[in-house]
Amino acid sequence: MDHKVDRRGFLKLAGMGAGVVFASRLALNSGSALAAGYGSGSGADADDFFFVQMSDTHWGFSGDKVNPDAKGTLQKAVAAVNALEHAPDFIFFTGDLTHTTDDPKERRRRLAEFKDIVSKLNVKNVRFTPGEHDASLDFGAAYQEFFGDTHYTFEHKGIQFIVLDNVSDPTASLGTNQLAWLKKVLDGFSKDQNIVVFTHRPLFDLYPQWDWATRDGQAAIDLLMPYNNVTVFYGHIHQQNYHMTGHIAHHSAQSLMFPLPPPGSQPKRMPVPWNPETPYKGIGFRETQAEVKEHGFNITEYPVVKA
């Protein structure tokens, strides 16, 4: 665990108008620690772009003490993303699209409903990776019927995005085949290539006592370590978390169904109860501005409902 925020980047609080909780910036090059202006677009390079990360929507969850609006939160999130000032180039869902069910028919029904709801997003470049709730009971079979491959790559404006699946294996592993694939992908990149990894579970041992880890995640980190510009975005833990493994930054996202408590803050990992005085607190999504030439990312967190 090696936080190098002071030297390699900085975190700043910023009041960005209605809806924005905070903005943070991780500059991967130490000499580029000036944030581009939010809202105005000042300082942004022509190649810079925005993407949105949405996570842990758990469509199909029910439990009024945790989220009495379980059947309406995802639709509110879609509306909030559609209302963003900056239209993102693409939107990425980092898993647990649906809440798990032992019934394969119900699993497919939930996946179909989820897909229909997110089809209302104005931005049509939408990509996905599964969470264990979607994929761990059938090795990703139902998920793949709706969303295709569970691990893949894509390129956008010079950044190479790698999507890793650490949930289709119910042991929460990437597996030797996927690790070999990852090595082959990385072998094709220069050491200075700007690389972003999307995955569901943390690749590092965030808090194994609550199963917040990937069994063979360290092997993936070892493969990524020789590359100078790597950032990982993931979900699973239903809250923001920032962690460095060497020079690799790992950012977790909030859930769009219910928050979970900070790691180790209580004996059991249980959802944070709904507070009628602060509805939707801890539920939200993030918009990230990619500064392509500077290998930096400005992250802005949004609540699902404006206060």
Interacting residues toward other proteins by CB under 8 A? 100-102, 132, 136-137, 139, 167, 169-173, 175-176, 208-211, 215-216, 267-269
Closer Cβ to other proteins, 10 or 139, answer by number: 139
Closer Cβ to other proteins, 112 or 179, answer by number: 179
Closer Cβ to other proteins, 57 or 136, answer by number: 136
C-alpha–C-alpha distance, residues 101 and 145, integer Å? 17
Closer Cβ to other proteins, 194 or 239, answer by number: 239
Q: How far is the CB of 200 from other proteins (least distance, A)?
A: 12
Q: How far is the CB of 30 from other proteins (least distance, A)?
A: 35
Residue partners of 215: CB distance under 8 A and separation at least 6: 171, 172, 173
Q: How far is the CB of 56 from other proteins (least distance, A)?
A: 12
C-alpha–C-alpha distance, residues 49 and 12, integer Å? 20
Closer Cβ to other proteins, 60 or 296, answer by number: 60
Q: How far is the CB of 108 from other proteins (least distance, A)?
A: 15
Mind spelling out the 3-state secondary structure of 206-247?
A: CEHHHCECCCCHHHHHHHHCCCCEEEEEECCCCCCEEEEECC
Q: How far is the CB of 286 from other proteins (least distance, A)?
A: 24
Closer Cβ to other proteins, 255 or 289, answer by number: 255
Q: How far is the CB of 172 from other proteins (least distance, A)?
A: 7
In 101-186, the DSSP E strands lie at: 126-129, 152-156, 159-163
Closer Cβ to other proteins, 214 or 254, answer by number: 214
CB-CB contact of 197 with 217 (8 Å): no
Q: How far is the CB of 139 from other proteins (least distance, A)?
A: 6
What is the token pair recorded at 161? 């995005």
Q: How far is the CB of 268 from other proteins (least distance, A)?
A: 7
**What one-character-per-residue DSSP string does 3-61 give?**
--HHHH-EEE----STT---EEEEESSTT---PPPTTT-TT--TT-EEEEEE----BT-
CB-CB contact of 72 with 264 (8 Å): no
C-alpha–C-alpha distance, residues 218 and 241, integer Å? 18
CB-CB contact of 164 with 127 (8 Å): no
C-alpha–C-alpha distance, residues 23 and 189, integer Å? 30
Closer Cβ to other proteins, 29 or 101, answer by number: 101
CB atoms under 10 Å from CB of 63, counted, come to: 15
